[in-house]
Amino acid sequence: MIDKPRRGQKAGRKPFRKDGDQPTSSRSPKPRFNRENKPQFNTDKPRINRADRSDSPSEQITPRISRADKKVIPDIDRAGREEKTRKFVPSPNAIASEENTREESESEEDNDLIYGRHPVIAAMKSDRQLNRIWITAKLHYDPRFHSLLVEAKANGAIIDEVENLRLNQLTQGANHQGVVAQVAPYTYKELEDLIQQAKAQRTDPVIIVLDSITDPHNLGAIIRTAEAFGAQGLIIPQRRAVGITSAVMKVAAGALEHFSVARVVNLSRCLETLKTEGFWIYGTAAGQGKSIHDLDLRGPVCLVIGSEGDGLSLLTQRHCDQLMEIPLAGKTPSLNASVAAGITLYEVYRQRGSQKLDMTTAISVSSKTFPI
């Protein structure tokens, strides 16, 4: 008679062994541990205390074995271990990433896009080469753009009438205002040409030098303010500073088409060259030097503006003839780089405007006193 499977047991398997049944395996059951028959340790060898182990000459410290690489690592006294000097060596990945970042920045400047109505109109009115222009149908026949587009097409530019979706893709969602243009790479002026051009424009030119400005919005704002106050040029370093990109052109709002920018390798050598050309070097530093209201900023001057976070470097400060500061009344210790540049340029403009006012007043007073 076949036993039926119990509840919870699948068919085809052996039934559960009842209590008291002998195991069906051929192996003998494992004997239980008996406390009376405990295994005895080898008592022939005398035990050595841990405190006396170091004094015993016969006992030697066995070397430790690392499980990771299975190498023998002998015990060394940490007190007598000599510290090894570590020399920083950049990894190949870090060098490659730095080169890639440099190449990307250069390619960004080579194939740059400007967008916005004022920057594109200023670029079309200037002598700058435009490769391609994307514009909406609404602005294509606008009186402000139509004649300029015809002239740009005659000069070799490609005019594409597109939708706003295409412009959003080109500018990555920026405020393009319905027009985008691809311009040729910005042509920087040489330092000597910039100095000679500034001297030809005025007898008391103003040149601005930026020390490691990395924010394109600050650079664009400084260019726009400098051109508005009548400065003759701007100088930026080639390393650790932002160049002329589409973001800078957008913030400058067309000022770059009437303003010259030079790019130098060595900023200290540039300042010494300006000194030999007759410029007086003023560096802006928070909490250092004289107030800008106590200085005579007339004549050929060069204004040096520091970076956003660190300000003027110590090497740049050494090459300045005079350090100056903007007096502040609140608790804020410093100002933004573009704001500091704007206040300093206005003070230069104010002093030169007051000089002209004083000369006009003196002439009027002398004509009344001594009539011709």
Tell me if 116 is assigned to some domain.
Answer: yes
Average pLDDT of span 70-90: 43
Check: CB of residue 272 under 8 Å from CB of residue 266.
no
Q: Which of 183, 214, 232 is the last residue of a domain?
A: 183
Q: Look at residue 248 and tell me whether its pLDDT is greater than 80.
A: yes
Given this model, what pLDDT does residue 186 score? 80
pLDDT in tens, 147-183: 889 888 888 888 999 998 999 888 888 888 899 998 8
Given 183, 216, 234, which residue is the final one in a domain? 183
Residue 30: predicted pLDDT = 57
Confidence at residue 134, expressed as pLDDT on a 0 to 100 scale: 92
Cβ-Cβ contacts under 8 Å for 191 (sequence gap 6 or more): 235, 262, 264, 270, 273
- Res. 224: pLDDT tops 90: yes
Q: Are 248 and 150 found together in one domain?
A: no
pTM: 0.59
What share of the chain has pLDDT > 70, as a percent?
65
User: How many domains is the chain built from?
Assistant: 2
The count of other CB atoms within 10 Å of the CB of residue 109 is 16
Domain shared by 216 and 177, yes or no: no
CB atoms within 10 A of CB 77: 6
Same domain, 142 and 273: no
Residue 96 clears pLDDT 90, i.e. is over it:
no
Task: Among 159, 183, 207, identify where a domain stops.
Answer: 183
pLDDT at 49: 56
Calculate ∠ Cα 86-91-94, nearest 5°.
Answer: 130
Residues 133, 195 within the same domain: no
**Residue 153 maps to a domain:** yes
| Average pLDDT rounded to a whole number, residues 304-328 | 89
| Whether residue 198 is found in the same domain as residue 275 | yes
- CATH number, position 119: 3.30.1330.30
pLDDT digits over 143-155, tens only? Answer: 888 888 988 888 8
For residues 324 and 45, the model is more confident at 324
Residue 343 has pLDDT above 90, yes or no: yes
Residue position matching structure tokens 């104010």 = 350
Q: What does DSSP say about strands 64-65 and 72-73: parallel, antiparallel, or unpaired?
A: antiparallel
174 belongs to a structural domain: yes
* Spatial separation of the C-alpha atoms in residues 261 and 244, rounded to whole Å: 9
What pLDDT, on the 0 to 100 scale, is given for residue 98? 45
Q: When comparing pLDDT for 139 and 185, which is higher?
A: 139
Specify if 102 maps to a domain.
Answer: no
337, 207: one domain: yes
* Residue 101 pLDDT level (bands cut at 50, 70, 90): very low
What pLDDT is stored for residue 85 in this prediction?
37
pLDDT-derived band at 20, boundaries 50, 70, 90: low
Cβ neighbours of residue 340 under 8 Å, at least 6 residues apart? 284, 305, 326, 334
Does the pLDDT value for residue 52 go beyond 50?
A: yes
Full residue range of the structural domain in which residue 282 is found:
191-361
Same domain, 270 and 356: yes
Contact predicate 145/99, CB 8 Å: no
Same domain, 231 and 320: yes
Q: Once rounded to an integer, what is the mean pLDDT over residues 233-248?
A: 88
Q: What is the pLDDT confidence band of residue 358, given thresholds at 50, 70 and 90?
A: very low
Supply the pLDDT for residue 31.
Answer: 55
The answer to whether the beta carbons of residues 323 and 281 sit under 8 Å apart is no
Mean pLDDT to the nearest integer, 7-36:
56
Check which CATH number belongs to the domain holding 314 and give it. Answer: 3.40.1280.10
79, part of any domain: no
Determine, yes or no, domain membership for 369: no
Give the CA dihedral 343, 347, 350, 355, nearest 10 degrees: -170
Please, are residues 313 and 267 in contact by the beta-carbon 8 Å criterion?
Answer: no
Contact of 300 with 280, CB cutoff 8 Å: yes
Q: How far apart are CA 43 and CA 311, in angstroms?
A: 79
Reading the block at residue 264, the tokens are 């130098």
Q: What is the pLDDT at residue 322?
A: 92
Q: Where are the beta strands (DSSP E) in 200-336?
A: 206-210, 233-237, 261-264, 280-284, 290-291, 301-305, 322-325
**Mean pLDDT score across all residues of the chain:** 75
Same domain, residue pair 169 and 222: no
Considering only residues 136 and 17, tell me which one the structure prediction assigns the higher pLDDT.
136
Q: Are 202 and 275 in the same domain?
A: yes
User: What pLDDT sits at residue 276?
Assistant: 93
Same domain, 249 and 333: yes
Mean pLDDT (whole number) for 204-232: 92
**36 in any annotated domain:** no
- Report yes or no on 200 lying in a domain: yes
Residues 207 and 325 in one domain: yes
CB count, 10 Å around CB of 281?
20
